[in-house]
Amino acid sequence: MTDIAVTLADKRGTLPTDDKLGFGKIFTDHMFVMDYASDKGWHDARIIPYGDFNISPAAMVLHYGQAIFEGMKAFRTEDNRVVMYRPVDHLNRFNNSADILSIPQMDVDVVHTALKKLIELDKHWVPKALGTSLYIRPFVISVDPYVGVKVASQYTLFIILSPVGAYYASGFKPVKIKVEDHYVRAVKGGLGEAKTAANYAASLKAGEVAKKDGYTQVLWLDALEQKYIEEVGTMNIFFKIDDEIITPELNGSILNGMTRRSVLAVAKDWGMKATERRISIEEVYEAHANGHLQEVFGSGTAAVISPVGELCWKGKKISINNGAIGETSHKLFDYITSLQQGRVADKFGWVEEVTKL
């Protein structure tokens, strides 16, 4: 097992009040860092004070985007335990992204241990209020100072932590989503399945246009025919039709979302029919026209469940469940958030205790 050297921050910060948290703007006192060199493998695992670092202007990541990341959460329970949600599943997905980007595999045990140590050290940064959490962002970047296209030979892994406020600060509310019929995020044979910078860069323009038109995010269609549903900007998507919940199958161009996996498992556990299959936007519009479309919701680490109240495809708007939150969306949100914050028993083994406060 790799030793982790710890350098403590001179001063400890304080957790802002819940209303000041927002998302992704505030960081804790420490971060975990580990380097890779082709002759040494991953080495020099260390926890150091959070802060800027030095990088070469020729660092490959700035030019060729060889980078991957993860996004997961830790929570403070009512009895002041700090727990993480599916950390090992997230770290395995991290390694899958690494493979797709030709980044060397990490030892999940080492990173998992580091993550626990880091959170233990910064545990007073985990907020307590309902809906708040500690967002965990592990990422790897290529750092060789080399201005030519190739697979890098030097990388740095970071884990940074950010306390985040309740996603639904003003109440659990349905969002409006635009079905994107022009821009494309990812294609079979591309990077769509990886959590990598490239996919998000590809989503910016469409996101901007959608926001101007009053939509929160876009729903991507497949690159080949612009017909089959893929996923939302930072969420997977579910449709409830005739009491069955349906989500696009994993086809290599969408993210294998952790919340998606959780939703499928929970719904099945409840005895619901939960199906992963190819589904076209036409089928969804038809189901709506015939009165069979009951709910639409997104799933992702940030929002957990995000009910969709309106879809707009090529200018045709449909209102889902009259713009109200559906029963299943609500039940899933309540159940998964309760499970994450330790308010219901963890029958799936998804919740791992890190430390107590």
Name the residues that contact a second copy, by CB under 8 A: 23-25, 27, 31, 50-58, 61-67, 69, 100-102, 135, 137, 139, 141, 145-151, 158, 160, 162, 182-191, 196-205, 207-208, 223-224, 233-234, 302
Give the footprint of ligand PLP on residues 44-73 (CB under 6 A). 71
The closest of 264, 351, 345 to 305, measured between CA atoms, is 264
246: partner contacted, choices a second copy, ligand PLP, none (Cβ within 5-8 A by kind): none
Supply 47's token pair: 């926890």
The closest of 106, 163, 120, 82 to 6, measured between CA atoms, is 120
Q: Would you say 301 or 328 has its CB closer to ligand PLP? A: 301
Name the packing angle between helices 87-100 and 108-121 (round to 10°).
130
Site string for ligand PLP, 237-256 (x = CB under 6 A): ------------------x-
27: partner contacted, choices a second copy, ligand PLP, none (Cβ within 5-8 A by kind): a second copy
Supply 127's token pair: 């907020």
Q: Would you say 75 or 167 has its CB closer to a second copy? A: 167
329: partner contacted, choices ligand PLP, a second copy, none (Cβ within 5-8 A by kind): none
Using alpha carbons, list the distances in angstroms from residue 236 to 128, 247, 256, 263, 295.
Answer: 27, 8, 8, 10, 14
The closest of 195, 124, 115 to 163, measured between CA atoms, is 124
Among 236, 253, 306, 328, binds ligand PLP (CB under 6 A): 236
257: partner contacted, choices ligand PLP, a second copy, none (Cβ within 5-8 A by kind): ligand PLP
Name the packing angle between helices 327-340 and 258-269 (round to 10°).
110
Supply 171's token pair: 């109440």
Task: Indicate whether 234 belongs to the interface with ligand PLP (CB under 6 A).
Answer: yes
Q: Which residues contact 168 (CB under 8 A, 6 or more apart)?
A: 131, 303
Q: Would you say 143 or 258 has its CB closer to ligand PLP? A: 258
Task: Indicate whether 258 belongs to the interface with ligand PLP (CB under 6 A).
Answer: yes
- Nearest distance in Å: CB 207, a second copy: 7
- Nearest distance in Å: CB 189, a second copy: 4
141: partner contacted, choices ligand PLP, a second copy, none (Cβ within 5-8 A by kind): a second copy
C-alpha dihedral sign at 50, 51, 54, 60? positive
Q: Would you say 24 or 323 has its CB closer to a second copy? A: 24
C-alpha dihedral sign at 303, 84, 16, 9? negative
Q: Which residues contact 166 (CB under 8 A, 6 or more apart)?
A: 18, 129, 130, 131, 132
Among 74, 164, 235, 274, binds ligand PLP (CB under 6 A): 235
Q: Would you say 26 or 266 has its CB closer to a second copy? A: 26
Q: Which range of residues in 39-47, 61-69, 269-277, 293-301 is near ligand PLP by CB under 6 A?
A: 293-301
Q: Would you say 233 or 307 has its CB closer to a second copy? A: 233
DSSP assignment of 92-105, as one string?
HHHHHHHHHTTPPP
Q: Would you say 9 or 187 has its CB closer to ligand PLP? A: 187
Give the footprint of ligand PLP on residues 76-115 (CB under 6 A). none
- Nearest distance in Å: CB 234, ligand PLP: 4
Amino acid sitting at position 135:
Y
> CA 323 from chain center: how many Å?
25
Count of residues in the chain: 357
Q: Which residues of the chain form contacts with ligand PLP (CB under 6 A)? A: 71, 231, 234-236, 255, 257-260, 299-301
